[in-house]
Chains A and B, each alone.
Chain A
Amino acid sequence: DIQMTQSPASLSASLGETVSIECLASEDIYNNLAWYQQKPGKSPQLLIYYASSLQDGVPSRFSGSGSGTQYSLKINSLESEDAATYFCLQDSEYPPTFGGGTKLELK
């Protein structure tokens, strides 16, 4: 199975700041990577697919980049509603595998 190593596990940032979250795959996943946001007690919401495509309705302050084994999610101009857990998912190869998640706290 492809291992997805996500970092950092937690992150604290202030409103208006920019943050980045990384996912490192154990092998090339050919941009078959998605990013999700999950708030407590809620289902995950798709933010980015194919590494850099913004899902309809997702604010443009979210962006994704990367290739090969290294991918990142960037959130510009943090807003209070961005406090959540973020995780990546690869489906380049079955079984799909998830990153361990990043809990983003707003100061």
Chain B
Amino acid sequence: EVQLQQSGPEVGRPGSSVKISCKASGYTFTDYVMNWVKQSPGQGLEWIGWIDPEYGSTDYAEKFKKKATLTADTSSNTAYIQLSSLTSEDTATYFCARKGAGGIDYWGQGVMVTVSS
């Protein structure tokens, strides 16, 4: 069974960084690209970017190029997203989501990030 287990909720101060993890199981981690998606009440769902765990290659939406950094650790089958220079606009739920043959097929449970001083 494919599972994407994300880390717990985060609270970050304005200007700081947070790093969220997504541990994959039930499939070969390096065979599938991992996407990251932001969900906020005001903006709906936004695609942040993807990482190919096998090669470490990444692609980002223009809006998130200076905000997000995607990495992956193949030894632990875990993908990460680091969000930097946090502002109130970054308060949202962040999902990892695997891209299968037909598109994004499995999602993590989401991590709520709250930016607060």
Residues of chain A touching chain B, judged by Cβ–Cβ distance below 8 Å, are 32, 34, 42-46, 49-50, 53, 55, 87, 89, 91, 94-98, 100-101
**A contacts with B: majority SS:** loop
What residues of B have a CB within 8 angstroms of the CB of A43 in the complex?
95, 107-110
With both beta carbons as reference points, the residue of chain B lying nearest to A96 in the complex is identified as B47
Interface size class of B (residues with CB under 8 A): 20 to 34
The answer for the CA separation of A49 and B95 in the assembled complex, in Å, is: 19
Q: Which 5 interchain pairs have the tightest Cβ spacing?
A: A49-B102, A43-B107, A98-B45, A95-B61, A96-B47
State the majority secondary structure of interface residues on B.
Answer: strand
Q: Which residues of A contact B47 (CB under 8 A)?
A: 95-98
Closest A residue to B107 by CB, please name it.
A43
Cα–Cα, bound, A96→B35 (Å): 10
